[in-house]
Amino acid sequence: CKGKQIAVPRSQLPEADENEYYWSDLIGVRVKNRQEVDFGLITDVFETGANDVIAVRADPVEQETTAKVKEKPQERLLPFTADVVLEVDLKAKTMLVDWDADF
């Protein structure tokens, strides 16, 4: 059934292998790049056909502080690939990426 969502109790899911993640576990993870630029929190993960993509939205408060202007929080779409996603720590809810802050 295309376009439908299903729910499965977490206890029924197998353990994810090393470097594998359930998308639901990535929601709310904080993303920073190698230069320690905080991109915000993962709000969505989706497929594009070529690779999976994570949507990262800047914290509104953080963005207001740095920009000194109230504006819609910036959203970045990053490929969820091994060359971009360098490290994921689900316990600390952090992700390190190799991504330029200007993109």
Residue 28 falls within a domain, yes or no? yes
| Token pair in block for residue 13 | 């899911």
Q: What is the reported pLDDT for 30? A: 98
Instruction: List the domain range (segments joined by +) for residue 77.
Output: 22-97
Number of domains in the chain: 1
Distance CA 61, CA 76 (A): 17
Q: What is the reported pLDDT for 78? A: 98
Q: CA gyration radius for the chain?
A: 15
Q: What is the reported pLDDT for 76? A: 96
Distance CA 63, CA 33 (A): 16
Show the low-confidence residues of the chain (pLDDT under 70): 1, 60-72
Helix residue ranges per DSSP H, 1-103: 23-26, 60-67
Q: What is the reported pLDDT for 3? A: 79
List the CATH number of the domain containing 27: 2.30.30.240
Sign of the Cα torsion 63, 65, 68, 70 reads positive
Q: What is the reported pLDDT for 21? A: 94
Q: What is the reported pLDDT for 5? A: 82
